[in-house]
Amino acid sequence: MKCARVKPGENILDVCIGTGDIAIHFAQSDCVSEIVGIDLSEEMLQIARRKTKSNGFGGKIKLLMGDALNLPFEENSFDIVSIGFGLRNIGHHKNGISEMVRILKDGGRLLILEFSPPQGLIFGMVYRLYLNSIIPAVGGIISGSASAYRYLSTSIANFLKPEEIIKLMEAEGLKKLYSERLIGGIAYIYRGEK
């Protein structure tokens, strides 16, 4: 939210909205006039619908099913486009960023929140152990689907490095690029302006 620097009357698209947490945070701001959330998974959208309704934001957040690589919006439609922990799941990262930039208005901001491959020798070793062994085992016991948690650890370990994401954003013409390391580097937030 702080990174977005929302101004009064701005509209927001949350790509790969998932269960709606980021959109709900945006909806709490009086500055935001409209929030649209889009996701390819109907199951995720059902959870987001329940959460937005129970939080009293059902009328402020519009939810759509759609593909992040082919967003159903005209160019220059949104002031802010956000994606939280969804870029890894888009098959073509470059095309996904390009599509999000396409629908940004001039002066609009793209915000990406995403996991990062483990960095550093000791922390990296401990984090890889946690990611590759503990998360799949515990996640599998709790959810009954260890394969989903193995996918999570593999997708994080094989994901782009922070400098690669910044280069993709720069290649799409974004300016005032910014990245912030979070939680010891296991996640980053990226921001760029069109």
How does pLDDT run across 111-154, given as a tens digit for each residue? 999 999 777 777 777 877 777 778 777 777 887 777 777 777 78
**Same-domain pairing of 59 and 31:** yes
**Same-domain pairing of 111 and 122:** no
pLDDT for 85 beyond 90: yes
**Same-domain pairing of 23 and 79:** yes
**Over the stretch 65-78, which tens digit does the pLDDT of each residue have?**
999 999 999 999 99
4: left (phi over 0), alpha (psi -120 to 50) or beta: alpha
Token code pair at residue 5? 């620097």
**Same-domain pairing of 153 and 164:** no
Range of the domain at 131: 118-157
Crossing angle between the packed helical segments 93-102 and 162-171, to the nearest 10 degrees? 40
Type of residue found at 189: I
Residue 38: predicted pLDDT: 98
Residue 83: predicted pLDDT: 98
Give the chain's domain count: 2
Helix (H) or strand (E) holding 88: none
pLDDT for 157 beyond 90: no
Residue 151: predicted pLDDT: 78
CA torsion 3→149→65→25, rounded to 10°?
A: -30
**Same-domain pairing of 16 and 110:** yes
**Over the stretch 164-176, which tens digit does the pLDDT of each residue have?**
999 999 999 999 9
Q: Is residue 27 part of a domain?
A: yes
**Same-domain pairing of 66 and 136:** no
Residues 193 and 109: beta-carbon distance below 8 Å: yes
